[in-house]
Amino acid sequence: MDILVINCGSSSLKYQLIDMEGEKVLAKGLVERIGIEGSRIKHEPINAEKVVIEEPIQDHKKALKMVVEAIVSKEHGVIESMNQITAVGHRVVHGGEDFSKSVIITDKVMEALEKNIELAPLHNPPNITGIEACKAIMPDVPMVAVFDTAFHQTIPEENYIYAIPYEYYEKYKIRRYGFHGTSHKYVAFRTAEILGRDLKDLNIVTCHLGNGASITAIKSGVSIDTSMGFTPLEGLAMGTRSGNIDPAIIPFLMKKENMSCDEVNDVLNKESGVLGVSGISSDFRDLEDEAAKGNKRAQLALNLFANRVKKYIAAYIAELGRVDAIVFTAGVGENSPLIRKMVCDGLNFIGVSIDNELNDVKGKERIISSEDSKVKVLIVPTNEELMIARETMELVK
């Protein structure tokens, strides 16, 4: 059974074709600059050279047509015909309160996705466009929507309601939704497998630390709290996002800097986080290099980031009552021994201890806690595409 996984952005489309027997990636790729000059597809078939095809790609329908052509092409294809694609799994950012699980896409689902556009105005429209393009090109292939928010729909009310007038939840559905759900779920499942334990018996804190970053408390395989909120702006400091700030800073800045609401929103989303603090970069590799050379603001950004991760982990352990494993994933979580060490060294008081040699690794799945650590600490590279493919297969089987 071959499943095509699609992740559509406003001007990009990422894809993977996965053979579910053995969960093998047959091909993956990226269509970039859709609707913009210089558009191209980068296609990486298994066991063959990567190819880049540059040509005008005016919309997502054309992009998807090129993806299918690349996958079945004689020169760099991996399957013989489109009919071999059993189903398509689409990443959808926001399912609101309508979806607590992945679903087969029907007209009713499409209506609900449209309704949720106001909750994710930047992300849901391209996701919908991708689904529509797929429907046009492969009308008879079943499709599944896998939501970033769905895994967090189990969070209890006291953790998802904000302390603002309740009517705003009733009127506008303002509440914590949480994101990166597919990633948190994947690494929690994998952690149970690595530890040889039943997920039902485990309390886990998962740390998805990438350009966007969030932490989740998982009890018996179920999300009970997560750091991102109504939008992906809440919680940790991130590459360019502020994470938590005193909300009173917003009107203060609007008055002092004569900024509009949209301008402040842009500052908090695009100019803040470790980029804003360091004034150097949103990329942790640059910050680590600069800090090592003695740059104080780069060091401050790293300290601030790691400290906030540590505080969330400790708070979530308090909520869970006990923790069996802390898991690091995504770009920074998988690749930065320094950040993992800064976070874990601050958690010695609850019996977390990492082995410096085991921690000295990038992008490898492994346990990095020392023998005597009371809590297991793991690196689990995330694999959202595989999780989407698995959920798609389950639904269409």
148 is catalytic: yes
Q: Which of 47, 16, 14 is nearest to 2 (CA)?
A: 16
Burial-class residue 163 by CB neighbours within 10 Å (0-12, 13-18, 19+). Answer: exposed
- Selected binder of ligand AMP within 332, 375, 380, 387 (CB under 6 A): 332
Nearest approach, Cβ of 153 to ligand AMP (angstroms)? 23
176/15 Cα distance (integer angstroms): 29
Using CB under 6 A as the binding rule, whether residue 182 contacts ligand AMP is answered as no
Q: Which residue is nearest to ligand AMP (CB)?
A: 331
Q: Which of 97, 258, 90, 80 is nearest to 176 (CA)?
A: 97
- Selected binder of ligand AMP within 284, 305, 316, 328 (CB under 6 A): 284
Strands 325-329 and 376-379: parallel
Tell me which residue has tokens 């800097």. Answer: 257
Catalytic residue among 59, 148, 324, 355: 148
Query: Is 189 marked as binding a ligand?
Result: no
> How many residues in the shown chain lie near ligand AMP by CB under 6 A?
14
Which one, 102 or 336, has the nearer CB to ligand AMP?
A: 336
Using CB under 6 A as the binding rule, whether residue 239 contacts ligand AMP is answered as yes
Q: How far is CA 311 from the centre of its chain?
A: 21
Using CB under 6 A as the binding rule, whether residue 243 contacts ligand AMP is answered as no
Query: Is 333 marked as binding a ligand?
Result: yes
Using CB under 6 A as the binding rule, whether residue 375 contacts ligand AMP is answered as no
Query: Is 91 marked as binding a ligand?
Result: yes
- Selected binder of ligand AMP within 216, 223, 242, 335 (CB under 6 A): 335
Query: Is 43 marked as binding a ligand?
Result: no
Using CB under 6 A as the binding rule, whether residue 289 contacts ligand AMP is answered as no
Decide: 63 and 44 in contact? Cβ < 8 Å.
no
Annotated binding site: 7, 14, 91, 208-212, 283-285, 331-335, 384
* Residues forming the site for ligand AMP (CB under 6 A): 210-211, 239, 282-285, 288, 330-332, 335-336, 362
